[in-house]
Homo-oligomer: A and B are copies of this chain.
């Protein structure tokens, strides 16, 4: 895994495929079939214009009530509600929801840190998740295929807290060109017995590995190149990862 160097601060409308190709060139990486590129959600959201200026947000009565319960900014809570299918838990300082995309996470994935201010703009901005991160990944994969003739896997990753375990970890919220979940049923283990673990969160594991290199603070390494990940060759999408509410025993 290699963090691509010299990635600029991404602005709305920036061409991420071009940024990737320049970064790979600077790292002297020639993209190959089966390579995976992991992009931090923030740069995808920024390129897609998903930043929202809080001053422009008028909180609804429901957002104001949520803000009171969660002890957060009502305009921030309004943006959270835009991207929320169902509120699961609210405590002071904490809002956990199921997003419109199906993810269970804090604040509907809305981020207040590392949101690039426009030049000369000291307003408060927040950043929503991509509207359809699978589509973002798919489009990027198509752009890279057109430019390189290579079959590249793309993961858009975010950092989520978890039930039961402390510490947030990288997870995949958009996937193209690789399986998001691998199904191992039918594969024998070392002794020919049935496997205990039958489905593996491949894209989430790659997302976590990439997150190690990306960092959370001021590192500025949002694009990770991975080569040699053992995986089945098939297309996939992050929809595979979303566990249907009816199948989920813990919400």
- Residues of A that sit less than 8 Å from B by CB: 1, 9, 89, 91, 94, 96, 103-104, 107, 111-117, 159, 162-171, 180-182, 184, 187-191, 193-197, 199-206, 208-209, 211-213, 215-220, 229-230, 240-243, 248-251
Contact = CB atoms under 8 A, between A and B. Distances in A.
Contacts of A251: 163-164, 250
A111 B191 CA distance: 13
A6 to B, nearest CB: 15
A166 B229 CA distance: 20
A202 B195 contact: no
Contacts of A164: 103-104, 163, 243, 248, 250-251
Contacts of A229: 212
A62 B74 CA distance: 50
B241 A167 contact: yes
A180 to B, nearest CB: 7
A187 B249 contact: no
B202 A114 contact: no
Contacts of A209: 205, 208-209, 212
A184 B242 contact: no
A41 to B, nearest CB: 11
